[in-house]
A and B are shown apart, each in its own frame.
Chain A
């Protein structure tokens, strides 16, 4: 039975000249797990908002065609009725939570719709979403992943047949991401909910989803079963969607004639085992670049202790006697789960937080006595959330601000140079907040290196970006290698780690649990298991074929494995 039936839907936002959704017709079967993929701005989120009636009831505009959800025509029902049919979880889910305690928020919608059993519904939703036992907690006690589960519980509590999630794992570490998808699978398989996700991570699509729908320019290009969909490598890549690395590798082999033409492309590691079964491991592609020997230490943490005040009871200790040394010229990736202390470490280095005990040395001098303002020529931090770096009303003024304040000569010319370098010249008069995700990131990087700091710290530079933008930022980071000496990136993005970093520092519960090259980190199963690191898929593929294989990119994989 079809739970969603759409016929000839065309919609344009108020005051917009051209429609954003064009003549869409679609049927979704009950119990489906559907992934929607597509370029930025192709109308994915807008499309999902037509399903729960926000369009056209709350957001006006020109609406044509019919949308039937669970047998109800959205034009003839109100948002409240439709909310009980289709639940929605936003990409910026923390703004969706309006109540201070967990149970309160989960049951809030049921209370508002005057359901007598609202508390039970809230409890039930929480237990479905794996938040049992957290009912009385305050929402700021939850981690990022748990907050997302709470937003999901808030939607589940109305017992809708359909759940729609907009990029559910964009901000989460792999451990939390697996958990979210685990919960979604359970809801789908055991409770028969129809699940629709907007998702860029094709590895997750391959593992969890049943169908994939590609959107292009406001229309639906196709809807296909997952494995067939992911095999359309060229078509996906032309829309800036990157199929799983296993699929890409097989696709390239096929083109080089190394795989038989009629063999279907694998989409998961399991399928890959069969498809690549006849390949033999030839040893590492190229000896790992050791790089130039790192210079003298530039930052040293000595027995650093820091704790945050907590609302109730004991202070939360983040670091207790942390020791770490960063040398000149190193390119370091800092990894660890949400809340392991990555951002705290960075804020300590720029003097925004003062250690409770211990000392931090910058170029051999203690920074605790120095003013933050004086450190910024040597070390600079780019926040995870670029919006918080825009303090002027145009990005040009933002980039120039630090140089202007320090009376740097020719600061105007230098600002122009930076705008040019980061391809922002055409946007220079715009407010940073109004740019797209990738443009915002580039602007924040330009702001970060304006003073030519010797050390650059980047907090999650690729979080919340679609894969295409992520690639672009990774390219920008590689370009920047020659102008910034020492760079430290905190990230969950293992592809970035593998392609870019020379040294990896793993934080877990406020401790450095591992520190070394990528072979030393990813090759050490004890470490990856403890911290919940999910290596790039192609690495797992290599491992599955041969336990000695350590390949981090598709190219390395293709070189390391040859036909007999």
Chain B
């Protein structure tokens, strides 16, 4: 009974982690959360906020301050309703960077003098990553690119960001179909035994690598139309035209919510500084 359950579970995990799943996660991440508090904020405000939380923690070693920052970005990440896969990647990332050291030292007789510095380092890494997650996945790509453009990033960069999100789902679907071609027509090694499993894994990695070749060629074929369409739609004119830039940025507006968001963040950080001087 139990083995059956286990088998089913492992099947399920493998089944879930397909290209289809990745595709839906990418879409969810980019556009699935456009109605959250974070998504409603002005990208310029959020970028300043990010600059603070992404840089300052590296130069401060005060535990209270770091804890407060971490909690703050934790809350904003929750508010942004970030897709599960991104959070998982974040978790794995932090753990492999420093988290495992922290746990190891905690269980193998580490005392405050070893645990605290590791905790501080882990908090720093976690805070910066979560702040990035909030900004880059809480905002939809268009808003983000407009924000970057306001700060003087070239128009081509910001167009690339939003266009990448536009084609990524298409590319992934195509990639999935090509992989399916391999699955239908290929003949992977049996994978009942351990050796078989290793061989199967190698086979799969090979297939994924081979599949890139047809993907690239198909994409090249498609992009002929896109390039012409961009020309007709005046993309090249817009890139050098100041008025267009102004019009694009006219949609950005700082609202009451943005100020509130900044104020709360500021208050919270100040409280932590106050606490750290009191205790």
Chain A contacts to B: CB under 8 angstroms:
52, 54, 58, 79-80, 83, 88, 90, 92, 94-100, 104, 108-109, 111-114, 116, 118, 138-140, 154, 309-312, 347, 350, 352, 354, 372-373, 376, 380-381, 383, 385, 387-391, 393, 401-402, 405-406, 431, 433, 447, 450-451
Contacts and interface: CB of A to CB of B under 8 A. Distances in A.
A98 B31 contact: no
A352 B184 contact: yes
B221 A433 contact: yes
Interface in B139-190: 140-142, 162-163, 165-166, 169-170, 174, 177-178, 180-188
Given A311-B31, A433-B221, A95 B229 contact: yes
12 contacts: A88-B232, A95-B229, A99-B162, A100-B142, A109-B233, A112-B233, A113-B234, A140-B169, A312-B28, A381-B184, A393-B213, A405-B186
B237 interface: yes
B17 to A, nearest CB: 13
A450 B28 CA distance: 39
A389 B218 CA distance: 11
Contact of B20 (A54, A112, A309): A309
B234 A95 contact: no
B58 to A, nearest CB: 34
A388 B219 CA distance: 11
B222 A95 contact: yes
A92 B229 CA distance: 11
B266 interface: no
A431 to B, nearest CB: 7
Interface string B173-209: 0100110111111111000000000000000000000
A354 B21 CA distance: 14
- Interface range for B: 35 or more
Given A311-B31, A387-B218, A388-B178, A98 B185 contact: no
B15 A354 contact: yes
B233 A98 contact: yes
Question: A-B pairs with the 5 shortest C-beta distances?
Answer: A112-B234, A112-B238, A402-B185, A405-B187, A109-B233
B235 interface: yes
A560 B16 CA distance: 57
Contacts of B230: 98
A393 B163 CA distance: 29
A388 B241 contact: no
Contacts of A100: 30-31, 140-142, 162, 165-166
Contacts of B243: 114
A310 B27 CA distance: 9
B211 interface: yes
Contacts of A111: 238, 244, 247-248
Residue of A88, A114, A140 ringed by the most chain B CB atoms within 10 A: A114
Given A98-B163, A98-B230, A391 B247 contact: no
B91 interface: no
B97 interface: no
B174 A138 contact: no
A52 B232 contact: yes
A52 B228 CA distance: 11
Given A92-B225, A373-B188, A433 B234 contact: no
A83 B15 contact: no
A116 B163 CA distance: 23
B141 to A, nearest CB: 7
Contacts of A92: 222, 225
B214 interface: yes
Nearest to A94: B170
B105 interface: no
A56 to B, nearest CB: 13
B234 A80 contact: yes
The residue in A99, A104, A380 that gathers the most chain B C-beta atoms within 10 A of its C-beta is A99
Nearest to B26: A311
A83 B234 contact: yes
Contacts of A118: 247
A58 B235 CA distance: 13
A312 B187 contact: no
A154 B177 contact: no
A109 B226 CA distance: 13
Most buried by B among A347, A376, A450: A376
Given A92-B222, A311-B32, A433-B221, 5 more contacts: A98-B233, A100-B140, A154-B233, A387-B214, A402-B184
A311 B244 contact: no
Contacts of B226: 95-96, 98
B187 A373 contact: yes
B225 A96 contact: yes
Given A111-B244, A385-B177, A388-B174, A401 B185 contact: yes
B13 interface: no
Interface string B243-260: 110011000000000000
Contacts of B162: 99-100
Nearest to B248: A111
Nearest to B244: A114
Contact of B181 (A104, A388, A393, A431): A388
Contacts of B163: 98
Contacts of A79: 231-232
Contacts of A381: 184
B34 to A, nearest CB: 9
Contact of A380 (B169, B178, B180, B184): B184
A217 to B, nearest CB: 24
B181 A311 contact: no
Contacts of A390: 214
Contacts of A80: 234, 237
Most chain B Cβ neighbours within 10 Å, of A83, A94, A309 = A309
A531 to B, nearest CB: 26
B223 interface: yes
Contacts of A140: 27, 169
Contacts of A352: 180, 183-184
A433 B222 CA distance: 11
A72 B210 CA distance: 50
